[in-house]
Amino acid sequence: MSSSSDFQQDRHSFSGSPQKWTDFELPGDTLYYRFTSDMSNTEWGYKFTVTAGHLGRFQTGFEILKQMLSEERVIPHLPLTKIWEWQVGVACRQTGHQRLKAIHLLLKTVQCSSQGDCDFTLLKPLWQLFTHMENNSCQDTAKPGILLPLHRALAELFFVTENRVTELGSLQEYLLALNTEDHLHRCTAQ
């Protein structure tokens, strides 16, 4: 079982009796599995149960952190640098609603950050995802003006972040860090 169709990410392999199986978690909202038999046994196979969104894990952490980032008197006591790093990692690894929630927390963190709290260059993988989505939406003329929730969330994140780094006086460094040299050459040529 894996969280990727090529079975390279978050891979879990089991063989033999049910006692050898253990509970595990996969990030995201999709599970890929492959069942292979060596025909050495005449049993019926395996049965497993998939449970989505364990309450008390991601959702609880999200709600607590969202509330803490909403309390102005609490913010000075939070390790915003670490929270930023964790949430960027979560937004890069997760998919679906969990990615959207991580981006929501990134937005809240940007809005309450001060100089040096957030390493904005960590957003590069999300920037690449966003630019890929932008390029695809420009090419899709069948549905003009319709953006997916992830596309909208990333657009807002980068809009707010750009305004924040402009206020902090580090816009040029931020833009250079997010873009590849090839992309900068293409933009200059345009």
DSSP one-letter code for 40: -
Residues 6+ apart with CB under 8 A from 14: 20, 21, 46
Domain boundary assignment for the chain:
60-179
Cβ atoms of 160 and 110 closer than 8 Å: yes
Of 123 and 137, which is predicted with more confidence? Answer: 123
pTM: 0.65
Average pLDDT of the chain is: 84
Local structure of 54: helix, strand or coil: coil
Token pair listed for 6: 């090529």
Cβ burial of 133 (10 Å; 0-12, 13-18, 19+) is middle
Query: Tens digits of per-residue pLDDT, 140-186?
Result: 555 555 568 999 999 999 999 999 999 988 888 888 888 877 777 77
The per-residue pLDDT for 126 is 93
